[in-house]
Amino acid sequence: MKNAHRKRHAVVWAALILLISGLPGSLVVAESPAGEANRERPRFDERADERRRMVEMHIRPEIDDNRVLAAMRHVPRHLFVPPRLRGDAYANRPLPIGQGQTISQPYIVAAMTEALKLKPDDKVLEIGTGSGYQAAVLSELTPRVYSIEILESLGNEARERFQQLGYDTIETRIADGYYGWEEHAPFDAIIVTAAAGHLPPPLIAQLAPGGRMIAPVGGPYEVQRLILVTKDQDGEVRHEFLMPVRFVPMTGRAQE
């Protein structure tokens, strides 16, 4: 797979699903509220130096939002990959996690997060919980994170992982993300971590006026277009192409 180094010139290989069992029991966690922007000390001390190097070498050259950079330094990516691959957790590349899936490379996680321009109290919906890594990054910027996973086993694993790691403000649901989460709509931001051939109309409807949505659009197993959707205060929707990407396909209604 090819790494992405430039927003508009590299094909980014990305995906959403991760299933692991068992987490290390020795974590040093510093108490700090979700969404705080300028923590000097990461909440997870374990392998913090590797995360700092990952940010400086592979993310900071293109991402300049300090809150996003801090989030990438804080979330322990090695606890969101299979144990046998934890040695490579902070390389800037996707990693295979079984079932034909990968966990997205850190750069694409940071780029999509930055594109949402989250404010500290924004309500954000994620489609495709997978391992929970992207949701954990989002929860560093706002505590109001809702995440949907269509595969029950993955959703349950992610929910348990959030509880173990202290990401207890993230709300999860097992459902088809194509339809969004109407009970909690509208959302200030929506992030889709799987590719569909079109933008799901229910998600656009659940995006609040002034909101932003980012999603890969295109067929499976081909280069897709990462699209930023914005909705103005009058409800008018605009689309902007950000970069070429490659994500796993969205399942459920999107495949029909």
Instruction: Report CA-CA distances (Å) from 11 to 14, 77, 113, 239, 246.
Output: 9, 22, 18, 20, 7
- Asked if pLDDT for residue 3 goes beyond 80, the answer is no
* Mean pLDDT for the stretch of residues 169-192: 98
**55: nearest Cα among 45, 39, 43, 66:** 66
pLDDT for 95: 81
Q: What is the mean pLDDT of the chain?
A: 85
pLDDT for 22: 33
- Asked if pLDDT for residue 19 goes beyond 80, the answer is no
pLDDT for 100: 66
Q: By the 8 A CB rule, do 252 and 243 touch?
A: no
* Mean pLDDT for the stretch of residues 107-116: 97
**86: confidence class by pLDDT, cuts 50, 70, 90:** very high
What stretches of the chain adopt beta strand conformation (E)? Answer: 12-13, 95-98, 101-103, 123-127, 144-149, 170-174, 187-192, 207-217, 224-231, 237-246
pTM, rounded to two decimals: 0.84
Dihedral (CA of 19, 23, 28, 33) sign: positive
Write out the catalytic residue numbers: 104
Tokens of 130: 């997978």
- Asked if pLDDT for residue 30 goes beyond 80, the answer is no
121-159: pLDDT as tens digits? 999 999 999 899 999 999 999 999 999 999 888 889 889
Tokens of 86: 């934890």
Q: What is 12-21+32-251's CATH number, 3.40.50.300, 3.30.70.270, 1.10.1740.10, 3.40.50.150?
A: 3.40.50.150
ω into 186 cis (within 30 of 0): yes
34-60: pLDDT as tens digits? 444 444 445 789 999 999 999 999 999
pLDDT for 101: 67
Sheet strands side by side (includes 170-174): 12-13, 237-246, 224-231, 207-217, 187-192, 123-127, 144-149, 170-174
- Asked if pLDDT for residue 29 goes beyond 80, the answer is no
